[in-house]
Structure 1
Amino acid sequence: MNVLLDNFPEFRDGFIGTVSITVISSVIALVLGIAIAGCRVSPVPPLRFFGTAWVTLLRNTPLTLLFLIFFFVVPEIFFPGMSPFLLGSLAVGFYTSSFVCEAVRSGINTVPLGQAEAARSIGMTFTQTLRIVIFPQATRIVIPPLSSIFIALTKNSAIAGAFSVSELFGWQKLMSDRGYAIGPIFIWVALGYLVITFVISGLFRLLERRMEVAR
């Protein structure tokens, strides 16, 4: 208990940092994942190739290597002066977008082909068909796997602590450097992650129930 009470401001900052990275990375991953899923099922071959390349590259790249690219390559070539927090959020968001894409694509594939054909028969474009017909039906299928993906995202955000980002794993390093016993530190870090993951699970369960009522 002493390690928490004596260093509560640092723990609070680390907890808020983890929550912030989780929220921002989740938004990035969700937006990119849906867009890339659209490319994956697009009738345009270059878009399908781009979507396939995106998923293949990111899913098979170790997240730590992706962090190294974002922290040491991206600022030097594209955006100098970006904050470590934003770089870490982008790394986790881009990585997770490939998993979101595949979950969304799987949901799209469960929608009967006749739905898309009926939409095209009344003059809808491919984008309109996805937005109005396909995505609303696929959402119910996609919600459960997305819950697991975003919980994994929360745990993956711990890597950001090794890159000077204030979050729970970074707090653990700080307390270890100050000489506190590692056992109590890990207990409080684990509890912090449990709180976040339980909230994510609860939100997705609530969303899933609401979607079931809407059927």
Structure 2
Amino acid sequence: MKTAIRLFILCILFASGFAHASFITTGTLYQTAAGTTIDYWYFYLDSDETITINLLTYSNTPTGDHNNYSSSTGLDTVISLYSNDGSLDLSDYIAYNDDSGSDAASSDGSTTDLDSYLTITLSAGEYVLLVSDYDYNGDGYSLDAYDIASSINFGDQLETNEGYASYQITWSDNVYLETQSDDDTDVPEPPALSIFLVALLGVYKFRNKVIPRN
């Protein structure tokens, strides 16, 4: 009986390491005649939380040159955070980040501080994260009301020839996306936990079978 209790406690402690895992989503921005597209990521928090959003950009071109800043990507992301009250406008604005400026941002493999990174404490509620390209031809990191309403960063041009550039977002575990796609990836993967629990159960059954009780 004592062995079973010890194994049960061990399972709980091990599982706690998997219960709170960050996860990854991916997206792509596209070039249009009017400008570049803006992606909208809707999420909510069950309670007051400090969340982390970490961008990693990767491109369909080998290198990108952002006004003489050397980069391994053709996309210079900007993330803008808004509250989601059902009618998105500039009054819902909370925070933004253009360049990470943080060593923590490299945890996802980023090799340039042009990748965006945001850590912020928020109240329970609904939010939306906008991912856009830095507009070197116009407003820089700023999005105006027309951009937000139309999902187009007017006047912006991607520094890639193919007309698109991709990125990934690593979200902290306390963020719940409104929609979950097939491209979402948990970190670490849950199957390892199942394998571990099955192995523990096998050890316990084997012990009861081969070791006589006193």
Into which bin does the TM-score normalised by the smaller protein fall?
A: under 0.3
Higher relative contact order (CA 8 A, sep 6+): 2
Q: Which structure's residues are more often strand, by fraction? A: 2
| TM-score in terms of structure 2 length | 0.28
| TM-score in terms of structure 1 length | 0.28
Q: Which structure's residues are more often helix, by fraction? A: 1
Larger Rg: 2
